[in-house]
Amino acid sequence: MSAKPFLQVIASEALSELDEKYKKWCEEVYIPSLFENPNLLIASHYEIVSGISAPHPGYVEPEAGYAKYLTIYEFGSEEGFKAFGQEMERTLSNATKTWESGEVTIEFQAQYKLRNTWEGKRKAKVGLVHTTGVVLPPEAENAFYQYYCEKVIPTVLANPKLLSADSYELVEGLTCKNLPFTYPKYYNIYKFESPEAFRSFDHSEEMLTNNKSYTKFLESWLPKAIKGVIRAQYLPLKTWA
C-alpha cells in the first residue's frame, strides 16, 4: 500500500504485568472500534525490536528509551483526521474506564503530513519498519530537506534491501511534560522485508557512504543544531484497512 498523506503516530506501553492484556485490548477492542469512522483508512500496530544499537552520526538515544508499541493511523488528508477527532475522543474516554491511571503510558503522540515517498528497486511483503526522527532549527530546514532528497535518498535506495522510504513533516505533537524529548520536525519510515534485511542494509556500503556524508553535513552547522531523536525498528503485529 502506498503512503497516505496524513498520519497520527502513537507510541505506548503498559505495566509489564499488564502487557498481554493491553496488547489484546488494543488489537481486539480499541483499534477495531476506531474504524466506525470512515475517515480512518489504515491502522498498523507494531512492536519494537530495538532502538539505536550502534553509533550513528547525530543521533541520541532517548533517556527513557522507546515505548514497546507503535501504532500508526493513516488518513487521506488532514481534514479527514480532524473529522476523525470526535471518534478518537469517544474511544479514549472509554479507555479510561478500562485502565487505571499509570497502567498505560503514552510516550509519543503526534500528527505528520507527507512530504515525499520513494519506492525501492523491488516489491516484497514488509516484515520490519525502521523509523527515524530529526529535530532541527528553522534556518536549517530548507538545507536539510534538499540534502535529504538529493544525497540521502539516492544513496540508500541504491541498496535493494530497502523497499520504500516515506518522509513526513510535523503538524502537531501532544503537549506533555513527561515526554522525554522534543517532537521531531521530520519523521521517516523505511520498510524492509525482514530484520535480517535491515541489518544487512544498516551495515552496507551504502549506509557507510551515507553516514560519512551525513557527518560532513552536520559539521556545517553549529554542534547539535541538528539532532536525531528517533532511530528504532519495529515488527508489524497487525494491520487493519
Q: Which of 197, 47, 217, 94 is CA-nearest to residue 149?
A: 217
> From start to end of the chain, where are the E strands?
6-14, 40-50, 69-75, 104-119, 128-135, 164-173, 186-192, 227-240
Nearest-angstrom CA–CA distance, 216 and 12: 35
pLDDT at position 53: 61
What lies within 8 Å, CB to CB, of 24 at 6+ separation is none
Q: What is the mean pLDDT of each run of 10 residues along the chain (241 residues)?
A: 85 94 94 90 94 74 81 94 79 73 88 96 94 93 95 97 97 65 89 96 95 94 89 95 88
Neighbours of 16 (CB within 10 A): 8
CA Rg value for the chain: 18
How many CA atoms are closer than 13 Å to the CA of 219, on its beta-carbon side?
A: 7
Domains defined for the chain, CATH in brackets: 6-240 (3.30.70.100)
3-state secondary structure (DSSP) of residue 237: strand
Q: Which pLDDT does position 26 carry in this prediction? A: 94
Q: Answer whether 81's CB lies under 8 Å from 113's CB.
A: no
Cα distance from N-terminal residue to C-terminal residue, the chain = 10
Cα 191 to Cα 225: distance, rounded to the nearest angstrom: 28
CA dihedral 227, 231, 41, 174 (to 10 degrees): -50
